[in-house]
Structure 1
């Protein structure tokens, strides 16, 4: 994984700080819109949230069978504390931790993950997710991207992000 985790970036590994930062930046409205307009989950669906962090998205979901997986033990502990039995929370890597779930998920959310991965790692992630998705299921990704003519504030957020592989619109790495 290519990300900054030293200095001030270490703070976002603390769930309460991460959550506070996200919501101070307007994540509440954005998350609600993302869930309703993009994910469009239906009650009873089985959803996998890859790189779930503290599982912020769960507060916006209808009653579903939710599985969140993340490498950050603190985020998973926080999600378990806040959401209890509303979901299953796993510390680990999706490629290794969910092989037994073949063709199980209606919806796979990969939000804010790809810009932390190199191209080979991202390709490996997609290869590991494909067998987990039901034939009629959908996989949705959402990540920052560098755009020509991008607003200065968006450029600043990209530049400050801990992920070091923000792609361009064409899909190449901007190193």
Structure 2
């Protein structure tokens, strides 16, 4: 993964998009082995993933630097209402169906502090997309890559103000990413 420029990409994503601050409470949904934790300042980190092996690895690697939960964010965090300043969802939405994503966002909305943010990043279909990017999208294991409108529809009617950003230079290979930053509408 590092050969694709992941180290530089994660650093850029954290610094330019997530912008975490020391002490904030962060939830990382679909955290995998929690690799992003190495790039974060000292904060109150919770990572959740369905893959128990990834969670076990994260616990071994990071110890008490975070809390790691093997489970489903939509079901297994209900007791944590309005706890998180920042909720990160990296490269997950294009792996789940619309109904699952909508359920996930509804659950996460209840976990977000009033001034908190949900930030997502996924690959995207764009008009007049470069041929190489289209090829990588077709080869991706995610079967639900969406257009920008498709991603935004997942948040319809949930009371969020959503800002979208597009990056086409995050990795060394040609890839287009959509970033959504969702805040509760005031």
Taking structure 1 as the reference length, what is the TM-score of the superposition? 0.83
Which residue pairs with 1:50 in the alignment? 29
* Deviation beyond 3 Å, 4+ runs, structure 1: none
Q: In structure 1, list runs of 5 or more residues that go unmatched.
A: 1-21
The alignment status of 1:25 with 2:4, answered yes or no, reads yes
2:135 to 156, 160, 165: 156
Which residue pairs with 2:78 in the alignment? 99
Aligned residues: 152
SS at match of 1:162: coil
1:36 to 8, 15, 31: 15
- 1:75-86 residue pairs with structure 2 within 5 A? 75-86=54-65
The alignment status of 1:121 with 2:100, answered yes or no, reads yes
Q: C-alpha separation between the residues in 2 aligned to 1:107 and 1:44?
A: 11
The structure carrying a bigger strand percent of its residues is: 2
Which residue pairs with 1:70 in the alignment? 49
